[in-house]
Structure 1
Amino acid sequence: MPVVRYESREGIAEITIDRAEKHNILTHQVVDELHDAWVRFQGGDDRVALLTGAGDRAFTAGADLRDIPHDLWRAVPSVGVAVDKPVIVATAGHVVGGGLVFVQSADMAVAAENTVFSYPEAKVGYSGGLISALAARIPHKIAMELLLVGGAIDARRAYEVGLVNRVVPTGTQVEAARALAREIAGNAPQVLSMLKQFVGEVLPKGPSERAAIARARVAAVNSARDYHEGIAAFLEKRKPVFTGE
């Protein structure tokens, strides 16, 4: 069964991690389906994406320790998939580990009052390193306390340090994010794309993020139609017909 829902309305792609009964934990299947969702969003007509988790208990409780998706980078917009359109995250309840990576990578975030952000990987003994970019999004000392101590901050504190744009009553976070998305969707797409790209060039990237972006670009080249055409032409001893696809 699918674990990620993609719904398109009013030029907005609503992407939902749909495992409320499991606190929307991150598995290989979730990563695969999120990756496909970002590819669909980037290649489609939707102008803004809204990423959320089903229910109000958890945006995501982080990685499933019985099925750790060490390729989480593939599910992160503008890292695993080049996305030049705005992304908004709506959170509620627990936002753990990789969930915090999604929030830091989004352009905007709306948090329910019951949201609690945490990154406990130092206590578990593993990390992909993508979280290092958090220090470019919020004050350095706040980021380091979250990462090194493995503690947590609530929605109000997250707002105070600039991690989220809005704090709203629990249960209204998706509708609040939709309202924000509708405003953005009504603006000039080329301006939005240009500004997002320019801001992406200004924000520092950690080594794991840079490596993941490079790996994603290489994978895209090596799975493109031109790749298959080039190999086929070589084996058939003919001139390849490349299309740029």
Structure 2
Amino acid sequence: MAEEVVSYERRGRIAVVTMNRPEYRNAQNSAMTYALDDAFTRAVNDDEVGVIVLAGSGKHFSAGHDIGTPGRDVDQSFERRAVQWWDHVGASGGDNRFAREMEVYLGMCRRWRELPKPTIAMVQGACIAGGLMLAWVCDLIIASEDAFFADPVLRMGIPGVEYFAHPWVLGPRGAKEALFTGQRFDANRAYELGMLSKVVPRAELEERVFETAEQIATMPRFGLALAKKAVNQAEDLMGMRSGMDAAFGLHHLAHAHNAETSTDSLGGQDARSMREGGA
């Protein structure tokens, strides 16, 4: 596991998986994505682990996909376990983008949503775009009062991040408001929309997360796994998986349109322009 971008710790029955690029607000490059997959696999395979907590080091949970740090690695291959498509390196055009995003974004997130052990996202500060995807795959999200959320990728002409869970976690109108405006919404608004499990003072965040995790960890492991599967299947019966597939196609139509009509598949946007726009 790439220890420099993800750390792993056992605290009794709780595994703590922490994104560790605080200098870049835990922006997710592929190295981090594969390291997260390694860490989650380790937790699932450890019979002593009952609950997995996903955290971000520093002031922020995650600012989303890495679109501009020195560690951006879109042109690199990794030793892959969660193979959803062939390797994108060496492919061109839509094949390249589709292959990479099917693997490291949509595919990985779906894999993590189906982990048989309960997961809790511990969110502080920024949870933007790709950061939402990591929080949304978790079963519970506990956020501090200073947390804020946004999916601003419509500024790129792209209709939302790859793991398109928006209508299920925000409701249809909340999803449209978040997407159409691209603006931040705070933890209280996220709680009102049903996205968060709890909102707590920043100083109490870790304590409250572990309090909840320890309570869950006392429940029967197999019963927890079945309950999780039952709820996930109910979401899928409400159209979540097929809706996500449809949105992923629109996402890549937007990438292709940008590539033909602007300087790149991101519509000429970069990390700075996205921040200046309110992300």
Mark yes or no: TM-score above 0.5: yes
SS at the partner of 1:203?
Answer: helix
What does residue range 1-245 of structure 1 map to in structure 2 within 5 Å? 2-45=4-47, 46-55=49-58, 57-66=59-68, 67=72, 70=101, 71-76=104-109, 78-79=110-111, 82-126=114-158, 129-204=161-236, 205-207=240-242, 209=244
SS at the partner of 2:4?
Answer: coil
In the alignment, the residues of structure 1 paired with residue 152 and residue 12 of structure 2 have an alpha-carbon distance, to the nearest angstrom, of 37
**Which letter does structure 2 place at the counterpart of 1:186?**
T
CA RMSD, Structure 1 to Structure 2 (Å): 2.1
* Structure number with bigger Rg: 1
Who is 1:228 aligned against? none
Following superposition, the deviation at residue 49 of structure 1 comes to: 0.4
Asked if 2 retains the 8 angstrom alpha-carbon contact of 1:74 and 1:81, the reply is no
Following superposition, the deviation at residue 63 of structure 1 comes to: 1.1
Following superposition, the deviation at residue 129 of structure 1 comes to: 4.7
**Which letter does structure 2 place at the counterpart of 1:12?**
I
Asked if 2 retains the 8 angstrom alpha-carbon contact of 1:92 and 1:114, the reply is yes
SS at the partner of 1:88?
Answer: strand
Change (3 A) 1:128 1:37: farther
Show structure 2 runs of 5+ residues with no match: 75-99, 247-279
In the alignment, the residues of structure 2 paired with residue 171 and residue 75 of structure 1 have an alpha-carbon distance, to the nearest angstrom, of 31
Asked if 2 retains the 8 angstrom alpha-carbon contact of 1:50 and 1:87, the reply is yes
In the alignment, the residues of structure 2 paired with residue 9 and residue 152 of structure 1 have an alpha-carbon distance, to the nearest angstrom, of 33
SS at the partner of 1:177?
Answer: helix
Following superposition, the deviation at residue 207 of structure 1 comes to: 4.1
Following superposition, the deviation at residue 122 of structure 1 comes to: 1.2
**Which letter does structure 2 place at the counterpart of 1:64?**
D
What is the CA deviation profile of residues 102-150 of structure 1, one whole-angstrom value per residue up to 9, with x for unaligned ones? Answer: 2222111111111000011111344775442221123210012112321
Asked if 2 retains the 8 angstrom alpha-carbon contact of 1:92 and 1:115, the reply is yes
Asked if 1 retains the 8 angstrom alpha-carbon contact of 2:16 and 2:53, the reply is yes
Change (3 A) 1:179 1:169: same
Change (3 A) 1:54 1:88: same
Asked if 1 retains the 8 angstrom alpha-carbon contact of 2:6 and 2:19, the reply is yes
In the alignment, the residues of structure 2 paired with residue 44 and residue 87 of structure 1 have an alpha-carbon distance, to the nearest angstrom, of 14
Show structure 1 runs of 5+ residues with no match: 212-245
In the alignment, the residues of structure 1 paired with residue 117 and residue 244 of structure 2 have an alpha-carbon distance, to the nearest angstrom, of 19
What is the CA deviation profile of residues 191-225 of structure 1, one whole-angstrom value per residue up to 9, with x for unaligned ones? Answer: 111100111100132448569xxxxxxxxxxxxxx
Q: How many residues align?
A: 209
**Which letter does structure 1 place at the counterpart of 2:196?**
V
**Which letter does structure 2 place at the counterpart of 1:192?**
L
**Which letter does structure 2 place at the counterpart of 1:199?**
V
What is the CA deviation profile of residues 149-182 of structure 1, one whole-angstrom value per residue up to 9, with x for unaligned ones? Answer: 2122100111111111111111321221111000
Asked if 1 retains the 8 angstrom alpha-carbon contact of 2:130 and 2:161, the reply is no
